[in-house]
Amino acid sequence: MTNRTTASASVLTSIDSICCRAGAGFADGQPLVTPIVQSTTFCRDGVDSRAEHQYSRVSNPTVSALEDVLGTLEGAPPAVCFSTGLAAETALLLALVKAGDHVVCGRAVYGGTTRLLQQVLAPLGIDTTFVDSTSPAAVAAAVTVRTRVIFVETPANPTLEVTDLRAIAAIARGAGARLVVDNTFLTPALQQPLELGADVTVTSTTKFIDGHSVAPGGSVVTRDNALLERIRFVRKSTGAIQTPQHAWLTLQGIKTLPLRLRAQSASAETLAQWLAGHPAVARAHYPSLGHAQLADAQHLGAHGAVLSFEVSGGLSAARRVAGALRLCRLVEHVGSVETLVTHPASMTHADLSPEARAAAGVRDGLLRLSVGLESIADIRDDLESALATITAEVAR
Ligand SMILES: *Cc1c(COP(=O)(O)O)cnc(C)c1O
C-alpha cells in the first residue's frame, strides 16, 4: 500500500491527535469523556438571556462538542450536525438553491442523493443534470447560467472512480457555483476536500466516522460563515439536528477513526489486488487500481476501506456469491468494523431504472465490499469459498 502523502500533509499530522482527544475535557475536575446532556431545554437568567444553549432543536452541548471536532478535522470549526447524512444533504441543498436553480451532480453518487434531487427537489423546481464527474469536460458542459451547485462524491459509489476535485473546483469557481463534496467514504482522515478547493463537505457520519453501526448522523463543513449560518437556520426551521446520544456515540467512534481507516484500507487494497487476479472475477475496482496517480495526489496516504468487484456470470453468479459468504455480512451499509457486502443492483441501487443503473456503472455482477477489521486471511478465505461456488461454472 502506498504511503505517499502529497495532499494536506500539515492537516494530517494533527488528525490522529484531534481524533483521539475528541470531546475530552482537560480542566481540573472535568470529565475526561464528554457527558451526554440529556435535556431538551435550558434555563435562562432573564427573558433577554443570550445563553449559549436554549433549546435542543437549535443546539445542545453534546452535539456542539461533536461539531467542534468534526469542523476542526477539516480546519473549519464548527461543523453543523444532523440526524442523518441525508438530513445534512437536504438542509445544505435547501440553503443553497431555490426554485429555478440548477444542480450538476455526479452520476455515481449515493442512491439517496439521486432520489433526493430527482424526487424531492425536482418537483420544487430545482433541476439536476447528472454527469460523469470524472470528466471535467462533461461537468463544464453541463453547467448553465442557472447552476448554483456542483455535487460530487469521490471515490464514487460503488465504482470507486476518482473525481479530480481541483479541476472541478476550478469549473465551479468559473461558474459562480458552489462545489459540494460527499466525503463519506474517505472522511477527513483520508481526504480534505476544502483543501482541494471544495466550498462545502457533507459526510454521513453513520458510516466510517461512527464506525460501529450504532449512531446515524450527518455533518456539513464550510469556511463560508454566511452559508454556515444559513444551514443552521434551515436546521432550526426544519428540525433535523443530531440527537445528544448519537452525537456522543459518534464522538466515541471518532477516537479510533484514523487507526481504523488505515487498517481497513490496507486490507482493502490487498484484497482488491487479489480479487483483480481471481479467475471468477471479471474486474475489481479500487482507487489505486484504476486512478492511481490522481488517488495518490488527492488521498492522505490510503484509499479507503471500500472496494467493488464484478463476478463473471452476471446477476445469478453475484447473488450466489453474496449468499455464500459467511464472515462477510450481507447488509446495506459501509463503514463498520465488520466486513460488509452489498449487491448494489438488488439492494442500494434497486430503486433506479436499469438505464440509470447502467449509467452509474452498477452492473448486475457487481458486489461491493466494505472491508472491516477481521484478519485479512479470514476475509480472503470467506471470499475464496464463496467464489468457488461459481468458479467451477466459469471453468466449464
Ligand atoms: C449512507 C450515505 C449517505 C446518507 O447517509 P445516511 O446517514 O444514511 O442518511 C450519503 N452519502 C453516502 C456516500 C453514503 O454512503
Per-residue pLDDT of 74-88, as tens digits, reads 999 999 999 999 999
Same domain? For 240 and 261 the reply is: no
CA distance 217 to 106: 22
Same domain? For 216 and 347 the reply is: no
Q: Which of 254, 277, 310 is the last residue before a domain boundary?
A: 254
Q: Which atom of ligand 1 is nearest to the CA of 218?
A: 7
**pLDDT tens digit string along 356-376?**
888 878 899 999 999 999 999
Q: Which atom of ligand 1 is nearest to the CA of 217?
A: 7
Is 129 within a domain? yes
Q: Which one, of 306, 292, 218, 295, lies nearest residue 261 by Cα?
A: 306
Q: Assess whether 115 carries a catalytic annotation.
A: no
pLDDT at 2 > cutoff 70: no
Q: Assess whether 55 carries a catalytic annotation.
A: no
pLDDT, residue 394, reads 53
**Residues with Cβ within 8 Å of residue 85, at least 6 apart in sequence:** 110, 112, 184, 202, 203, 204, 205, 206, 207, 216, 217, 218
Same domain? For 162 and 289 the reply is: no
Q: Give me the CATH number covering residue 335.
A: 3.90.1150.10
225 burial type by CB count under 10 A (0-12 exposed, 13-18 middle, 19+ buried): exposed
Q: What is the span of the domain harbouring residue 26? A: 7-254
Q: Which of 254, 288, 320 is the last residue before a domain boundary?
A: 254
> Phi-psi category of 37—alpha, beta or left, where left has phi over 0 and alpha has psi -120 to 50?
beta
pLDDT above 70 covers what percent of the chain?
95
Q: Report the predicted TM-score, pTM, of the whole model to 2 decimal places.
A: 0.94
Q: Which of 236, 254, 272 is the last residue before a domain boundary?
A: 254
**Cα first-last separation, the chain:** 35
Over residues 295-309, mean pLDDT: 97
- Do residues 143 and 114 make contact, with C-beta atoms less than 8 angstroms apart? no
Q: Assess whether 255 carries a catalytic annotation.
A: no
Q: Which one, of 286, 285, 370, 374, lies nearest residue 333 by Cα?
A: 370
Same domain? For 136 and 176 the reply is: yes
CA distance 126 to 97: 7
Residue nearest to atom 5 of ligand 1 (CA): 85
Same domain? For 167 and 211 the reply is: yes
Mutating to test ligand 1, I would choose from 154, 207, 249, 332 the residue with most ligand atoms within 8 A of its C-beta, which is 207
Catalytic residue among 110, 178, 235, 319: 110
pLDDT, residue 4, reads 33
Catalytic residue among 101, 132, 164, 182: 182
Q: Which one, of 116, 71, 66, lies nearest residue 94 by Cα?
A: 116
pLDDT at 320 > cutoff 70: yes
Mutating to test ligand 1, I would choose from 110, 159, 243 the residue with most ligand atoms within 8 A of its C-beta, which is 110
Is 109 within a domain? yes
Mutating to test ligand 1, I would choose from 86, 200, 348 the residue with most ligand atoms within 8 A of its C-beta, which is 86
> Going by DSSP bridges, is the β-strand pair 80-82/218-222 parallel, antiparallel, or unpaired?
antiparallel
Q: Which atom of ligand 1 is nearest to the CA of 185?
A: 13
What is the Å distance from ligand 1's center to 85 Cα? Answer: 5
Residue nearest to atom 4 of ligand 1 (CA): 85
Q: Give me the CATH number covering residue 59.
A: 3.40.640.10
Residue nearest to atom 2 of ligand 1 (CA): 204
Residue nearest to atom 6 of ligand 1 (CA): 85
* Tally of CA atoms within 13 A in the half-sphere of 257 that contains its CB: 34
What is the Å distance from ligand 1's center to 302 Cα? Answer: 21
Catalytic residue among 21, 57, 283, 329: 57
The dihedral built from the CA positions of residue 314, 315, 320 and 323, taken in this order, carries a sign that is: positive
- Do residues 219 and 174 make contact, with C-beta atoms less than 8 angstroms apart? no
**Residues with Cβ within 8 Å of residue 183, at least 6 apart in sequence:** 191, 193, 201, 202, 203
Over residues 234-256, mean pLDDT: 98
**Domains identified in the chain, total number:** 2
Same domain? For 250 and 294 the reply is: no
Over residues 318-323, mean pLDDT: 95
CA distance 314 to 222: 42
What are the C-alpha distances in Å from 340 to residues 37, 241, 305, 371?
33, 28, 10, 7
What is the Å distance from ligand 1's center to 152 Cα? Answer: 13
- Do residues 80 and 232 make contact, with C-beta atoms less than 8 angstroms apart? yes
CA distance 81 to 249: 13
User: Which of 90-94, 105-109, 204-208, 374-378 comes out lowest in average pLDDT?
Assistant: 105-109
Same domain? For 232 and 295 the reply is: no
Catalytic residue among 107, 148, 178, 207: 207
What is the Å distance from ligand 1's center to 30 Cα? Answer: 34
Position 217: which residue type? G
> Phi-psi category of 374—alpha, beta or left, where left has phi over 0 and alpha has psi -120 to 50?
beta
pLDDT, residue 6, reads 37
Q: Whole-number mean pLDDT of the chain? A: 93
Bridge partners of 281, per DSSP, are: 311
- Do residues 171 and 372 make contact, with C-beta atoms less than 8 angstroms apart? no
Is 335 within a domain? yes
Same domain? For 289 and 209 the reply is: no
CA distance 302 to 4: 8
**pLDDT tier at 349, thresholds 50, 70, 90:** confident
Mutating to test ligand 1, I would choose from 84, 184, 347 the residue with most ligand atoms within 8 A of its C-beta, which is 184
Task: Kindly list the protein residues whose Cβ atom lies closer than 6 A to any atom of ligand 1.
Answer: 84-86, 110, 112, 153, 157, 182, 184, 204, 206-207, 216, 218, 334
3-state secondary structure 112-149: HHHHHHHHHHHHHCCEEEEECCCCHHHHHHHCCCCEEE
Is 1 within a domain? no
Same domain? For 250 and 367 the reply is: no
**pLDDT tens digit string along 139-195?**
999 999 999 999 999 999 899 999 999 999 999 999 999 999 999 999 999 999 999
pLDDT, residue 8, reads 38
Same domain? For 104 and 224 the reply is: yes
pLDDT at 3 > cutoff 70: no
pLDDT, residue 12, reads 40
pLDDT at 39 > cutoff 90: yes
Report, in angstroms and rounded to the nearest whole number, the Rg of the chain calculated over CA atoms: 21
Same domain? For 237 and 344 the reply is: no
Stronger pLDDT, 274 or 359, i.e. the higher one: 274
Is 113 within a domain? yes
pLDDT above 90 covers what percent of the chain?
85
Is 2 within a domain? no
What is the Å distance from ligand 1's center to 201 Cα? Answer: 13
Same domain? For 161 and 191 the reply is: yes
What is the per-residue DSSP string for 215-234?
---EEEEES-HHHHHHHHHH
- Do residues 93 and 115 make contact, with C-beta atoms less than 8 angstroms apart? no
Stretch (H or E) spanning 306? strand 306-311
**pLDDT tens digit string along 179-214?**
999 999 999 999 999 999 999 999 999 999 999 999
In the block, residue with C-alpha cell 468559473: 174
To the nearest 10°, report the CA torsion of 164, 93, 123, 115. Answer: 60
